[in-house]
Chains A and B, each alone.
Chain A
Amino acid sequence: MSDAEFKDFVTHRSPALLRTAYLLCGGDHGAAEDLLQEVLERVFPRWRRIRRHPEPYVRAALANAATNRWRHRARRITETALHRDDPQPHVSSPEERVLDHDLVVRALATLPPRMRAVLVLRFFDDLSEADTASALRCGVGTVKSQTSRGLARLRETFAEPATTAPQTTHRSS
């Protein structure tokens, strides 16, 4: 019975959860599906314990899995830098108040994973600051500051039309 219940949950709630995963993965559908599948597979052995409130649990697990790059980060003595020609996305003029949603997803993808997760949980999944903090196992103050900084960075991205292509250096993880 528990297996059927779990499958039912996956069948009916995967589309919504996939959308969250998609944003957490910076707009990569394939990676989002992989992430969601991995998280749900990990949830399955614990289903009996969480089945009364599975969705908040899974959503929190998604956000943490997406931000959990730490376990894949090799601590190296020498850093290998990746130079990336990373021009800012072309934006609509200030007079047009409709945002190109593809560009928003791309801009979201440029944020650090944790900051991105905060914005996704707050403004896509519509969680409160307290629920977001609980999901990400951090303080409400952290959620507030990450929200503020994340929105500021997105607003910078959409503030002016692109005129040059600034170089952005990323450190491989």
Chain B
Amino acid sequence: MDTRELTHALREATEDLEPRPDFAAAVVSGGRRRRNRNRFAATAAVAGVAAVAAVVAVTVPAQQSAPPPGQATSTPFTPKEDLRLVHAGGALVDDEDVTSVVVHAWATGMDGAPVNGDGVLDDRLGEPHIYWADQTAYGVTALVTQIVRLPADDRVTAEEQGQQRVATGVVATAPGTDEFRLLGVQVDGAGSAGQFLLPDDRTVVAVARPDLAGETGGMWVSPEIHYDEDGTSVREWTAVELTDGIGTVELAEGTNPLNVRLIAGDRKTPPQRENMKIGGHLPLLRTATTQLVTAQRGLPWEGTLTAVEPDGLASPTADTFATAVRGLLEPASYIPEPTRWTVVARAPSGTTVIIGQWQELDHPARLYAVTVGQDGRTVIRVEQVAVLNPGESLPVVYQLPDGEGFLVAAQGQQLSYRLSVGDTWSEPVTDAALVPYTVTAQVRVGTVVVDLPVR
């Protein structure tokens, strides 16, 4: 592969990409809101700490724009105004026996591996501040904050070099010991650091706006995804009780930490799916020492399996699939890992059906089918087909609507079909086939015969 081939391939891969029709309007609208928010935050900061506490989130008040090429980095972020460096909450925050151990654990833990093995957090300004210390279901727990100045080298991105950030850590008893240790650190980036899952995998402690003490709302938790009848994945959100600058949650026994999501949202109502930004959840740092593995439950196929060649599809099949299926996926759980394979067929009506898989977090992978109109561009149907069972001889079976047949696939296999028992088998094809509709259709995968289910 030479660089001309690479350039050609990249351009071919993207030549039909277009933003959605309302994209420009959405950008201008969002940009105006950001401009107004920046003006307001600057005004509040000038007005004094009390005003900042009332109207500005605990964390970074404004996103940073990337600096123009060739110009020095500049940032209006002022960590010293961050409430995480000012507020002190919890029943033990004034207990010197506790605080002295906490500060020692922080200093020890920030010195070298594993938290700071590459020295990125070496340049710490001022003294560590105990944001909160109290009893939790796990035991005595403390959150500690301190300003760090990031190094001016490529251990961090160019934009971050030399910048000041707030590091927030959790100190509690290390599992398997009776020692108080620094168990995890989050360094402020998007302005929402400070959410930890303690080593029992059940207790969550999260930094929250101190002015919300005594109220619910403001932070919401959801332990897992559920699937509606139409295949849309949804979450049920429970308000996190906020007290004295902290939200605490006790997850149910057996909760899978990989599927838990925490969100900072409206004070009075659960987060609404249509208003949720993809990936807008709070990062929850797990501090247990046991390994958790997200099992890959999908099919390890690659590429496009073509049953009937599509005609005039405007975008690559995988791209069309990923964009369409996104609407069914749970926004807070979304991870951009599109299917690595698709099955595609042009239906007799002229529409194109694309099938692929999507696994959300540590849930089973599911098959989804996207139907594109005759224009090759308009998505007219998206539906969840089934939970994937990779062990099936014929893992992909989709009955097209309106009696247009069955789209079936098994990568690397020879497939033939017959419309009823006793009929002659069709000529075998490889990977994928479009089988005419009957209630008695069968598919032979190698030597295994599969009855096609009719819904």
Complex alpha-carbon distance, A11 and B27, angstroms: 10
For residue B275, give the distance in angstroms from its CB to the closest CB of chain A: 15
Partner of A75, one of B31, B70, B184: B184
Per-residue contact bits, chain A 44-60, to B (CB 8 Å; 1 contact, 0 not): 11100110000011001
B18 within 8 A of A: yes
B448 within 8 A of A: no
Complex alpha-carbon distance, A23 and B12, angstroms: 12
Q: A27 touching B318 by the CB < 8 A rule? A: yes
For residue B391, give the distance in angstroms from its CB to the closest CB of chain A: 14
Q: A22-B17, A75-B187 are in contact. Are A124 and B7 (CB under 8 A)?
A: yes
Partner of A44, one of B13, B28, B182, B293: B28
Q: B190 touching A106 by the CB < 8 A rule? A: no
Closest to B411 in A: A90
For residue B277, give the distance in angstroms from its CB to the closest CB of chain A: 8
A140 within 8 A of B: no
B30 within 8 A of A: yes
| CB neighbours of A18 from chain B (8 A) | 17-19
Q: B319 touching A27 by the CB < 8 A rule? A: yes
Closest to A32 in B: B17
Partner of A82, one of B9, B19, B154, B293: B293
B158 within 8 A of A: yes
Could you say which of B33, B279, B315, B338 has the most chain A C-beta atoms within 10 Å of its C-beta? B338
Q: B35 touching A75 by the CB < 8 A rule? A: no
| CB neighbours of A44 from chain B (8 A) | 27-28, 30-32, 34-35
Q: A135 touching B69 by the CB < 8 A rule? A: yes
Per-residue contact bits, chain A 81-104, to B (CB 8 Å; 1 contact, 0 not): 111110101100000011111111
Q: B186 touching A75 by the CB < 8 A rule? A: yes
Could you say which of B27, B303, B338 has the most chain A C-beta atoms within 10 Å of its C-beta? B27
Closest to B296 in A: A85
| CB neighbours of A26 from chain B (8 A) | 336
Per-residue contact bits, chain B 187-223, to A (CB 8 Å; 1 contact, 0 not): 1111000000000000000000000000000000000
B130 within 8 A of A: no
Closest to A136 in B: B158
A111 within 8 A of B: no
Q: A23 touching B189 by the CB < 8 A rule? A: no
B145 within 8 A of A: no
Partner of B5, one of A34, A67, A99, A114: A99
Q: A68 touching B185 by the CB < 8 A rule? A: no
Q: A10-B27, A99-B6, A124-B7 are in contact. Are A25 and B336 (CB under 8 A)?
A: yes
Complex alpha-carbon distance, A104 and B1, angstroms: 10
Q: Which range contains the number of A residues in contact with the other chain?
A: 35 or more
Could you say which of A10, A45, A72, A119 has the most chain B C-beta atoms within 10 Å of its C-beta? A45
Q: B28 touching A101 by the CB < 8 A rule? A: no
B289 within 8 A of A: yes
Q: A33 touching B23 by the CB < 8 A rule? A: yes
Complex alpha-carbon distance, A102 and B7, angstroms: 13
Q: A71 touching B336 by the CB < 8 A rule? A: no
Q: A15 touching B300 by the CB < 8 A rule? A: no
| CB neighbours of B292 from chain A (8 A) | 80
B401 within 8 A of A: no
Q: B20 touching A33 by the CB < 8 A rule? A: yes
Q: A22-B14, A104-B6, A136-B158 are in contact. Are A65 and B38 (CB under 8 A)?
A: no
Complex alpha-carbon distance, A25 and B66, angstroms: 17
B157 within 8 A of A: yes
Complex alpha-carbon distance, A61 and B69, angstroms: 9
Partner of B296, one of A49, A64, A78, A83: A83
Complex alpha-carbon distance, A103 and B9, angstroms: 9
| CB neighbours of B285 from chain A (8 A) | 74, 76
Partner of A11, one of B24, B66, B291: B24
| CB neighbours of B293 from chain A (8 A) | 81-83
Complex alpha-carbon distance, A66 and B400, angstroms: 38
Interface residues of B in 60-105 (CB under 8 A from A): 63-70, 73
Closest to A99 in B: B9
Q: A72 touching B190 by the CB < 8 A rule? A: yes
For residue B176, give the distance in angstroms from its CB to the closest CB of chain A: 12
Complex alpha-carbon distance, A89 and B411, angstroms: 14
| CB neighbours of B186 from chain A (8 A) | 74-75
| CB neighbours of A158 from chain B (8 A) | 1
Q: A42-B65, A75-B184 are in contact. Are A154 and B319 (CB under 8 A)?
A: no
B50 within 8 A of A: no
| CB neighbours of B420 from chain A (8 A) | none
Q: A43 touching B65 by the CB < 8 A rule? A: yes
Which 5 residue pairs across A and B have the least CB separation, nearest first?
A: A71-B189, A44-B31, A137-B158, A61-B66, A101-B13
29 A-B contact pairs sorted by A residue (CB < 8 Å): A3-B28, A6-B31, A10-B27, A11-B24, A33-B23, A36-B19, A37-B26, A40-B27, A42-B64, A49-B68, A50-B68, A57-B68, A60-B68, A75-B187, A77-B184, A77-B289, A78-B114, A80-B292, A83-B294, A85-B300, A89-B302, A90-B303, A99-B9, A101-B10, A105-B10, A114-B157, A124-B11, A142-B154, A165-B300
A70-B189, A154-B6 known; 7 other A-B pairs, CB under 8 Å?
Answer: A37-B27, A70-B157, A76-B185, A82-B293, A98-B5, A101-B12, A124-B11
